[in-house]
Structure 1
Amino acid sequence: MAVTDCYRIRPDGIAVSVRVTPKSSADAIDGLGVQADGAVHLAARVRAIPDKGAANAALESLLAARLGLPRSSVAIIGGSTSRLKTVRLSGNPDDLAAALGEAVAQAGKRA
């Protein structure tokens, strides 16, 4: 399982598969996870509750902060009412992939 398994390159950046856990004790990226069908996703937790988009906004803010991106470069483009979401990261795909890889590596060091 590699970081490259959780995203796909888009013309304007990358689209990342993310499984978010709301109502957590902390906002954090927990590394990679695998779904029942074998698909790989980025695992994240947010303190916000899933009400009126609060958890989605918290996830976007978390990813922007951890990846060193402006908040406007992160947007949920699929699964807004589901725990499994598709998040668009806008920018240079190579730079975004490197930042994502570093965030996952840092999550592994905390575990």
Structure 2
Amino acid sequence: MAKSKLRDLPDLSAQAHAGTTFHLKVTPKAPRDRVVVEDGQIRVFVTAPPDSGKANHAVQVILAKCLGVAPSTLSLKQGQTSRSKVFVYAPQDPVSRIW
């Protein structure tokens, strides 16, 4: 299965601050992957099905792309099985990493 090409994603990098929460409305099994921001609400459409966390992972990757951060810095805090989801941006402190 080929990766979908992500085009025309909104630039949300100005919102990428440690501890920021993102409230999303998600639509799984959409015709194509895309992100729409209307009146401050972020809507994410993913082609992945909502089983075994596939859609959640797809949303995490797409949101990270919009924010210009690594997907591992985003964690799903609410909405594992809901269309309304809350992701938190928590970058790892480079000083606290164990080398």
The percent of aligned pairs where both chains have the same amino acid is 32
Does 2:56 align with 1:56? yes
Aligned residues: CA RMSD: 1.7
- Corresponding residue for residue 90 of structure 2: 90
Q: If each structure's strand is expressed as a fraction of its own residues, which one has the higher value?
A: 1
- Matched to 1:73, the amino acid is T
Q: If each structure's helix is expressed as a fraction of its own residues, which one has the higher value?
A: 1
TM-score by length of 1: 0.61
Does 2:33 align with 1:27? yes
Larger Rg: 2
Could you say what secondary structure the match of 1:88 adopts?
strand
**What is the total number of aligned residue pairs between the two structures?**
75
Matches of 1:26 and 1:67, distance apart in 2: 19
- Listed as ranges, the gaps of 5+ residues in structure 1 are 1-9, 34-39, 92-111
Instruction: Provide, for residues 45-88 of structure 1, a one-character-per-residue CA deviation record: whole Å limited to 9, x for no partner.
Output: 00100001000000000011121101111111101100001011
- Listed as ranges, the gaps of 5+ residues in structure 2 are 1-16, 92-99
Question: What is the CA distance between 1:25 and its match in structure 2?
Answer: 1.4
Instruction: Provide, for residues 78-102 of structure 1, a one-character-per-residue CA deviation record: whole Å limited to 9, x for no partner.
Output: 01100001011124xxxxxxxxxxx
Question: What is the CA distance between 1:32 and its match in structure 2?
Answer: 2.6
Matches of 2:57 and 2:34, distance apart in 1: 14
User: Which aligned runs of 4 or more in structure 1 are off by greater than 6 angstroms?
Assistant: none
